Amino acid sequence: MGLAPNLVFAATDKKSSVNIGLIGVGLRGTNHLNNLLSRDDVLVMAICDIDQIRIELEKWNIPSLVIFPDGDMAWKPDEGKEIANILLDSEFHLIKNTGHYIQEDAGEEVAELIVNFLNRNKK
């Protein structure tokens, strides 16, 4: 797992579960996905293509956090904004000076956003 997931799980209490949606899980993302799938306290929905899942995303009525890099060679910031706009209840954060491996380029900032989001959305 990358830096951000480790920091997030270290900051959550052991009784909590975490729901995670992944958009584009190629390359090293596949390893992160496999690690998350091996956990009992995580529910993962892997999403690879925005156009194919748009109808499903429009049905989601749960708080969602969309964190995007400003320098990814595969995904552009506008695509992240589009994802956030499709979701009914979402936050969008663009992280400056980061690339495709945003959790490595800005792991602490990403983890802080996730932990704060989880704390604000506790049930």
Total structural domains within the chain? 1
For range 44-62, the mean pLDDT: 68
The domain containing residue 23 runs over which residues? 3-116
Confidence of residue 83 (pLDDT cuts 50, 70, 90): confident
> In this structure, is residue 12 part of a structural domain?
yes
> In this structure, is residue 51 part of a structural domain?
yes
pTM for this one?
0.62
> In this structure, is residue 122 part of a structural domain?
no
* CATH code of the domain containing 108: 3.40.50.1820
> In this structure, is residue 55 part of a structural domain?
yes
Q: Please state the three-class secondary structure of the chain as a single string.
A: CCHHHHHHHHHCCCCCCEEEEEECCCCHHHHHHHHHHCCCCEEEEEECCHHHHHHHHHHCCCCEEEEEECCCCCCCHHHHHHHHHHCCCEEEEEECCCCCCHHHHCHHHHHHHHHHHHHHCCC
Residue 71 has pLDDT above 90, yes or no: yes
> In this structure, is residue 15 part of a structural domain?
yes
